[in-house]
Structure 1
């Protein structure tokens, strides 16, 4: 079928139903009536000769065909949107928009306060959703426009994903204030003789510090593996366990616990944090503005 005979608005409806899983919520998102959404869905079904969505209880569940075409459709719509807007001026004071920013929870405390201070001051009608996305899905989400930006460590991503380093950070060690062995300084022998906490969202595997220690033929004892640095800081304050973590976040998460913050007694690569975006929004005025706000938010910070 020739493209000239296809109503491109149907694909906006398709993405809305897929995203919301509901005709009702799709109609609310697009500010259309439910009969209009249902009519568009029927036309899509005829176009593809496939039901596309099947009702299961209160949800509209996508068919295999719908799942196979959702990303190409999202990317096509995103590319068209950028083409139409890339020459427009973006005025944050007047714009009404939500940006979606992917970042790890360890970066939220350092990035979000200065970022939101800037956004709320400049753009009263712009909202920000900070979300966590699986790293294997970053490329497709950025390409589809469901993510505007991502902030993460250095990742092996394809050339279509542009990047800029926004901050470098050091690694430090936390020990409780009245630790029986460690008071104000820490050498490598004492560090290796201690028991440790590893904070990681992964169920297994070594931390960055463990990889570096292994290069020296060393292996520390992990007494506790937990998911969040904040919880680990609290455990440190009540035990003799040590916690190794990024310095910037340590100074935030440790405020109420008053643990000692000490240099890591061995060389460690810096925690380099990068800002990522897709090449299809390189010249998009709104995305350029948001990128600048993120870069400025990280200035004079450590991770």
Structure 2
């Protein structure tokens, strides 16, 4: 930073440099920041040089194959983000979002299961309801909270158990989904219902999304129900792996109803009482009052709950 105590002359400062600084701190890469702002790499390099001169600091330095922010740059990330938010609010003075005409692109992170339950119904409706709105769907990653705060993604759909605490994050329930038992259509040992004893004896496929036990498995552990586990995999692969086998598994009902016809599965009522799973939407406070972001959250919640509400119940145990 400049060592002089003289006040900075704002007439000599291009405020677009703050936008470039925000992009550089989010991406930690000149090339990626240039792509984020839709400018050439040489233009972004020139902007970085101007920032370095303005702040009298390198801002980004190379460390191996990556670029690392200096302590001065790190200290300015939050103030600059707040300043940009305040400027945007001051200049736009918008209190509405018109999905029929407005252009927006949202980056949403979700598991394959959540994408089927929430994002697919929205994708189907977007051309008619919001023709200029685009969704970029990214697979779930453990560092999602960091990507949110760096504004690399706009929204995350995540199980309630994985929602982090933090003053800069907001969260809201998107939908709640119960578990059903899935078996092959021609399973030789399973009729219209199944007992707990039979459940424990049959070969079982355990679900472990994102390298952690699913809520269904945690439920069974709390209930003390043993399983004859032969395979462990994700929700998304489970229906395809049990087809043509004697394996049984527990999957969210929304996912099961969507893919059962294509995978040759039967869905039954589980023989035990299981706690349903709740998927949450997580975003940053910076986007909380944004009317377009609020519209996105409302539509995702609407389509998810409408689909789940209209899902016919699985056959009751006999």
TM-score by length of 2: 0.79
1:192 and 2:192 aligned: no
Partner in structure 1 of residue 127 of structure 2: 120
* 2:104 counterpart (71, 84, 97): 97
Report whether the alignment pairs 1:224 with 2:231: yes
After TM superposition, give the deviation of residue 111 of structure 1 in Å: 1.4
The CA deviation at 1:286 is 1.3
Aligned residue among 259, 262, 272 for 1:266? 272
Within 2, Cα distance between the matches of 1:4 and 1:221? 72
In the alignment, which residue of structure 1 is the partner of 2:303? 297
Distance 1:96 1:131, change over 3 A: same
Structure 2 distance, partners of 1:289, 1:148, is 13
Could you say if the C-alpha distance between residues 19 and 165 of structure 1 is closer, same or farther in structure 2, counting changes exceeding 3 Å? closer
Q: Is the 8 A contact 1:167 1:301 kept in 2?
A: no
- Corresponding residue for residue 175 of structure 1: 183
CA contact (8 A) 1:79 1:280 kept: no
Choose from 229, 242, 247 the match for 2:248: 242
The equivalent residue for 1:279 is: 285
Deviation at 1:249, TM superposition (A): 0.3
Query: Which consecutive unaligned segments of at least 5 residues does structure 1 have?
Result: none
Q: Which has the bigger relative contact order, CA under 8 A and spacing at least 6? A: 1
- Which deviates more, 265-274 or 14-23? 14-23
Which consecutive residues of structure 2, in runs of 5 or more, have no partner in the other structure? 312-318
Shift of 1:252: 1.6
Post-superposition Cα deviations, 1:13-43, rounded to whole Å, max 9, x if no partner, equal 2343455666466445435455543332112
Aligned length: 299
Q: Report the alpha carbon displacement of residue 186 of structure 1 after superposing the two structures with TM.
A: 0.9
Q: Deviations over 1:65-110 (max 9, x none)?
A: 4883585244553454345435354222332221112222211112
CA gap 1:109/1:48 in 2 versus in 1, 3 angstroms: same
Native 8 Å contact 1:53 1:60 kept in 2: no
Provide the residue aligned with 2:314 in structure 1. Answer: none
Alignment of 1:202 onto 2:210: yes
Question: d(CA) in 2 for partners of 1:187 and 1:76?
Answer: 61
> Larger deviation: 11-20 or 127-136?
11-20
Decide which of 143, 149, 156 is 1:150's aligned counterpart: 156
* Greater displacement, 257-266 / 161-170: 161-170
Q: Return the TM-score normalized by structure 1.
A: 0.83
RMSD of Structure 2 on Structure 1 (CA): 3.1
Q: Is the 8 A contact 2:181 2:267 kept in 1?
A: yes
Q: Secondary structure at the match of 2:277?
A: coil
C-alpha contact 1:10 1:40 (8 A) present in aligned 2 = yes
Specify whether residues 295 and 218 from structure 1 end up closer, same or farther in structure 2 by C-alpha distance, changes over 3 A only: closer
Deviations 1:155-174 (A, max 9, x none): 35346533332322110111
Seen in structure 2, the aligned counterparts of structure 1 residues 241 and 64 have a Cα distance that, compared at 3 Å, is: farther
